[in-house]
Amino acid sequence: MSVDPWAQLTQRAVRQHGVFLRKQASALGIDSRRIKTALRDNRIVAFSEQILGLAGFPSSVRRDARAATWLSSGAVASHRTAAALFGFEGIPFNHTDISVPLEQRLRVPVTMKVIVHHTSQLDKKDLVTVTGIPCTSKARTLADLGSVASPDVVLQALIVAHRDGLSLHTIRSVAQRLHRPGQQGTKVLLGHLDAFARAGNVPESWFEEVVRRIIDHPDLPRLIPQYELRHEGRVVARFDHAFPDARVAVESHSRSARRGMVFLCSRICLATGYPGCCTQNPAHAWILGSATNPGVPCLTDRKRTAVRWMSTDECQLPAEATPIGHDTPVPPIPQ
């Protein structure tokens, strides 16, 4: 039984994020006349003379990147497009970025929103494949990103890359190898890495960094990020931020960089909006010391070992405390 060539082409295009080459259609027996008919009937769309796509297939970063990297045999997704392919957060995406060797001159069809970056440094060790799309590596992408995006966008991507397992040593070695006078991308990245080295820690999320910027104020006590709480010589908890002199810790919980909750914890209880918050939400409550023994840490995250769970009485907020809302003052913490 013969197989419909259009069905075969459609299956292949789906695996290629909704796009295909004219020569791929020709290899299946679909000639130029049938392609022209399909274009006229709006069954397929043209990105260029040689790059075609399935009509109605959802537009995406991957679809646009796959089509753009077919414009030249040496083209790879890079900069913002590569960052988006890796799932870095906060990446603005209005055009497709590709990088090509310096000697290549590429004419981009007016129907495609593509920015071409010419580079003399496009080594194989800086290239990977992401879902079938040739792409700059994570470290190389971070080194390029600062030339087209703000330092905060680079920092957000750097935090995600490090959280996902990419070492700072690897990132720095790539940035230093690529750095040249006047290169903004590597300059921005190396600046962030130097700041991490001075601080001695890396934020675990972009939301955590946003919270740090909000609460790091000269009128407040000394702020220490990634503060480790120790008891009898061992670490029993680590907080996103802490004011050790004031015995207050801050935890930032978020599902994305745009949504999150901040928990402020003091000697007796955290004012999260209702009494008994520590026992009802122990994974979200952080106490630096109990009322009966302020020097002993009494509650840690569920994932860590609890030195001592607080009693319900210890967890209760004052009677005058009310749930926290946008217009509700923060209830007082018992002394």
Convert the pLDDT of each residue in 86-137 to its tens digit.
999 889 888 999 999 988 888 898 889 999 999 988 999 999 999 999 999 9
Residues 149 and 168 in one domain: yes
Q: Which long-range contacts (CB under 8 A, 24 or more apart) does 116-124 make?
A: 116/75, 117/78, 117/79, 117/144, 121/178, 122/74, 122/76
Number of domains, the chain: 3
Residues 211 and 292 in one domain: yes
Is residue 62 assigned to a domain?
A: no
Is residue 64 assigned to a domain?
A: no
Residues 184 and 108 in one domain: yes
Residues 130 and 76 in one domain: yes
Is residue 107 assigned to a domain?
A: yes
With a pLDDT cut of 90, the percent of the chain lying above it is 52
Is residue 9 assigned to a domain?
A: yes
CA-wise closest residue to 279 among 247, 314, 254: 314
Is residue 333 assigned to a domain?
A: no
Residues 108 and 138 in one domain: yes
What 3-state class would DSSP assign to 17? coil
Residues 43 and 93 in one domain: no
Residues 278 and 174 in one domain: no
Domain end, chosen from 199, 231, 251, is at 199
Residues 193 and 275 in one domain: no
What 3-state class would DSSP assign to 241? strand
Domain end, chosen from 174, 199, 224, is at 199
Query: In the structure encoding, which two tokens stand for residue 308, read together?
Result: 């001592």
Residues 36 and 85 in one domain: no
Residues 160 and 94 in one domain: yes
Q: Residue 300 has what pLDDT?
A: 36
Domain ranges, residue 253: 206-315
Q: Residue 279 has what pLDDT?
A: 32
